């Protein structure tokens, strides 16, 4: 009888464990859950944290935007009045203009510069290959 290497013996044990039913009598669903639990838990953990740190504050800000809070008189519901004030405010439109200017200048400039640097670097590496 030929002597097996430690690796081959380990592989055989692993194959037998995968083929044989669990000694504890665990169902196949439980074995499947143990195998896939990290693939299930991680996305749900992400969704929980995403909801807690992004969606909850965003929805709270949306909710409070329909109210006016005063030192004397408390909080009162005003509906869309806050949004009407923003639309008629010159500072708001100046801010929108600045953001659009930044978007249409900064993004193409930085993307073009990054592409140029990547092409220059790649040109130097192609000659060395």
Query: Which pLDDT value is given to residue 101?
Result: 97
Q: Are 92 and 86 in contact (CB under 8 A)?
A: yes
- Residue 104 has phi, psi (to 5 degrees) of -85, -5
Query: Which pLDDT value is given to residue 16?
Result: 66
Q: How far is residue 45's CA from residue 53's CA, in Å, rounded to a whole number?
A: 12
- The list of the chain residues with pLDDT below 70 reads 1-4, 14-26, 126-129
Query: Which pLDDT value is given to residue 80?
Result: 95
Query: Which pLDDT value is given to residue 37?
Result: 81
pTM, full prediction: 0.53
Query: Which pLDDT value is given to residue 32?
Result: 80
Domain ranges of the chain: 27-87, 89-129
Secondary structure letter of residue 128 according to DSSP: H
Q: How far is residue 61's CA from residue 1's CA, in Å, rounded to a whole number?
A: 75
């Amino acid at each position: 009888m030929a002597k097996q290497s430690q690796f081959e013996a380990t592989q055989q044990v692993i194959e037998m464990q995968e083929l044989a039913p669990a000694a504890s009598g665990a169902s196949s669903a439980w074995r499947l859950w143990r195998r896939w639990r990290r693939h299930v838990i991680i996305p749900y953990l992400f969704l929980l944290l995403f909801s807690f740190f992004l969606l909850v504050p965003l929805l709270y800000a949306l909710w409070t935007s329909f109210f006016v809070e005063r030192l004397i008189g408390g909080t009162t519901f005003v509906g869309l009045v806050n949004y009407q004030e923003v639309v008629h405010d010159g500072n708001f439109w100046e801010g929108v203009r600045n953001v659009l200017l930044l978007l249409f200048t900064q993004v193409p400039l930085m993307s073009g510069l990054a592409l140029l640097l990547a092409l220059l670097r790649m040109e130097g590496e192609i000659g060395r290959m």
